[in-house]
Amino acid sequence: MKRIIFVCHGNICRSVAAEYIMKNLSHDFIIESRATSFEEIGNDIYPPMKRELLRNNIPFERHHATRIDQNDFNNADYIFYMDNENKYSLLRMFGESNKIMPIYQFTEGIYEIEDPWYTDRFDVVVKQITQCVKDILKSI
Protein backbone atom coordinates (compact mmCIF):
# COMPACT_ATOMS: atom_id res chain seq x y z
CA MET A 1 0.00 0.00 0.00
CA LYS A 2 1.29 3.48 -0.93
CA ARG A 3 2.23 5.79 1.94
CA ILE A 4 1.23 9.47 1.83
CA ILE A 5 2.48 12.09 4.27
CA PHE A 6 0.96 15.57 4.46
CA VAL A 7 3.30 18.21 5.86
CA CYS A 8 2.85 21.70 7.28
CA HIS A 9 4.72 23.85 9.78
CA GLY A 10 3.35 22.57 13.10
CA ASN A 11 1.18 19.51 12.27
CA ILE A 12 -1.78 20.86 14.24
CA CYS A 13 -3.87 22.50 11.47
CA ARG A 14 -3.37 21.94 7.75
CA SER A 15 -1.47 18.67 7.48
CA VAL A 16 -3.54 16.89 10.10
CA ALA A 17 -6.72 18.18 8.44
CA ALA A 18 -5.49 16.76 5.12
CA GLU A 19 -4.72 13.45 6.84
CA TYR A 20 -8.23 13.04 8.21
CA ILE A 21 -9.94 14.40 5.09
CA MET A 22 -8.14 11.81 2.98
CA LYS A 23 -8.80 9.03 5.50
CA ASN A 24 -12.48 9.96 5.30
CA LEU A 25 -12.43 9.68 1.48
CA SER A 26 -10.16 6.67 0.91
CA HIS A 27 -8.87 3.56 2.62
CA ASP A 28 -6.45 2.69 -0.18
CA PHE A 29 -3.37 4.37 1.31
CA ILE A 30 -1.38 4.64 4.51
CA ILE A 31 -2.01 8.29 5.37
CA GLU A 32 -0.09 10.33 7.94
CA SER A 33 0.81 13.92 8.69
CA ARG A 34 3.93 15.60 10.00
CA ALA A 35 5.47 18.97 10.88
CA THR A 36 8.59 20.62 9.54
CA SER A 37 9.24 22.33 12.89
CA PHE A 38 9.56 21.25 16.50
CA GLU A 39 7.23 24.00 17.84
CA GLU A 40 4.04 21.96 18.38
CA ILE A 41 5.45 18.47 18.89
CA GLY A 42 3.08 16.35 20.98
CA ASN A 43 0.19 18.79 20.69
CA ASP A 44 -3.30 17.83 19.57
CA ILE A 45 -5.21 19.36 16.63
CA TYR A 46 -5.68 23.10 17.13
CA PRO A 47 -9.21 23.62 18.57
CA PRO A 48 -10.51 25.89 15.78
CA MET A 49 -9.43 23.27 13.23
CA LYS A 50 -11.21 20.56 15.24
CA ARG A 51 -14.38 22.67 15.13
CA GLU A 52 -14.10 23.08 11.36
CA LEU A 53 -13.53 19.36 10.83
CA LEU A 54 -16.61 18.64 12.95
CA ARG A 55 -18.65 21.18 10.95
CA ASN A 56 -17.67 19.29 7.81
CA ASN A 57 -18.43 15.85 9.31
CA ILE A 58 -14.81 14.75 9.06
CA PRO A 59 -13.99 12.25 11.81
CA PHE A 60 -10.67 12.54 13.64
CA GLU A 61 -8.91 11.05 16.65
CA ARG A 62 -6.59 12.36 19.36
CA HIS A 63 -3.51 13.60 17.57
CA HIS A 64 0.11 14.08 18.64
CA ALA A 65 2.02 16.46 16.37
CA THR A 66 5.17 14.82 15.03
CA ARG A 67 8.10 16.17 13.02
CA ILE A 68 8.99 14.47 9.75
CA ASP A 69 12.25 12.54 9.90
CA GLN A 70 14.52 10.55 7.60
CA ASN A 71 12.61 7.31 8.22
CA ASP A 72 9.34 9.00 7.20
CA PHE A 73 11.00 10.36 4.07
CA ASN A 74 12.51 6.99 3.14
CA ASN A 75 9.21 5.13 3.57
CA ALA A 76 6.88 7.66 1.90
CA ASP A 77 5.69 7.39 -1.66
CA TYR A 78 4.29 10.93 -1.67
CA ILE A 79 5.00 13.90 0.59
CA PHE A 80 2.56 16.76 0.05
CA TYR A 81 3.35 20.19 1.51
CA MET A 82 1.03 23.18 2.01
CA ASP A 83 3.12 26.26 1.13
CA ASN A 84 6.55 27.38 -0.03
CA GLU A 85 7.88 27.64 3.53
CA ASN A 86 7.14 23.93 3.98
CA LYS A 87 8.75 23.18 0.61
CA TYR A 88 11.98 24.97 1.52
CA SER A 89 12.10 23.22 4.90
CA LEU A 90 11.67 19.82 3.25
CA LEU A 91 14.32 20.62 0.64
CA ARG A 92 16.76 21.63 3.40
CA MET A 93 16.05 18.40 5.26
CA PHE A 94 16.00 15.91 2.39
CA GLY A 95 17.16 17.60 -0.81
CA GLU A 96 15.33 17.45 -4.14
CA SER A 97 13.01 14.49 -4.56
CA ASN A 98 10.19 13.66 -6.94
CA LYS A 99 8.16 12.40 -3.96
CA ILE A 100 7.94 15.96 -2.52
CA MET A 101 5.19 18.04 -4.11
CA PRO A 102 2.56 20.64 -3.25
CA ILE A 103 -0.84 19.38 -2.10
CA TYR A 104 -2.27 21.51 -4.92
CA GLN A 105 -0.15 19.71 -7.56
CA PHE A 106 -3.28 18.40 -9.34
CA THR A 107 -5.68 21.28 -8.52
CA GLU A 108 -6.26 24.27 -10.76
CA GLY A 109 -6.53 27.71 -9.18
CA ILE A 110 -4.96 26.92 -5.79
CA TYR A 111 -1.33 27.93 -5.38
CA GLU A 112 -0.84 27.45 -1.64
CA ILE A 113 -2.81 26.47 1.42
CA GLU A 114 -2.62 29.46 3.76
CA ASP A 115 -1.88 28.88 7.44
CA PRO A 116 -5.16 29.39 9.32
CA TRP A 117 -3.22 29.81 12.56
CA TYR A 118 -2.51 33.32 11.25
CA THR A 119 -5.50 34.00 8.99
CA ASP A 120 -8.28 32.37 11.06
CA ARG A 121 -9.87 31.18 7.79
CA PHE A 122 -10.28 27.55 8.81
CA ASP A 123 -13.37 27.17 6.61
CA VAL A 124 -11.48 28.26 3.48
CA VAL A 125 -8.53 26.02 4.31
CA VAL A 126 -10.69 22.92 4.86
CA LYS A 127 -12.53 23.55 1.57
CA GLN A 128 -9.26 23.97 -0.32
CA ILE A 129 -7.63 20.93 1.26
CA THR A 130 -10.73 18.85 0.51
CA GLN A 131 -10.59 19.84 -3.15
CA CYS A 132 -6.85 19.13 -3.33
CA VAL A 133 -7.26 15.72 -1.70
CA LYS A 134 -10.07 14.79 -4.12
CA ASP A 135 -7.82 15.78 -7.01
CA ILE A 136 -4.92 13.77 -5.58
CA LEU A 137 -7.16 10.71 -5.33
CA LYS A 138 -8.14 11.11 -9.00
CA SER A 139 -4.52 11.56 -10.09
CA ILE A 140 -2.34 9.04 -8.25
In 3D space, the residue among 96, 76, 93, 95 whose CA is nearest the CA of residue 33 turns out to be 76
Catalytic residue of the set 8, 13, 83, 132: 8
Catalytic residue of the set 14, 34, 83, 132: 14
The percent helix, strand, coil of the chain (3-state, each to 5) is: 45, 15, 45
Catalytic residue of the set 13, 34, 83, 115: 115
Answer yes or no: 115 catalytic: yes
HSE value, Cβ hemisphere, 13 Å, CA-based, for 137:
19
Q: Check if the beta carbon of residue 7 is closer than 8 Å to that of residue 32.
A: no
The burial class, CB within 10 Å (0-12 / 13-18 / 19+), for 27 is exposed
- Give the rounded distance of the alpha carbon of 117 from its chain centre: 14
Catalytic residues: 8, 14, 115
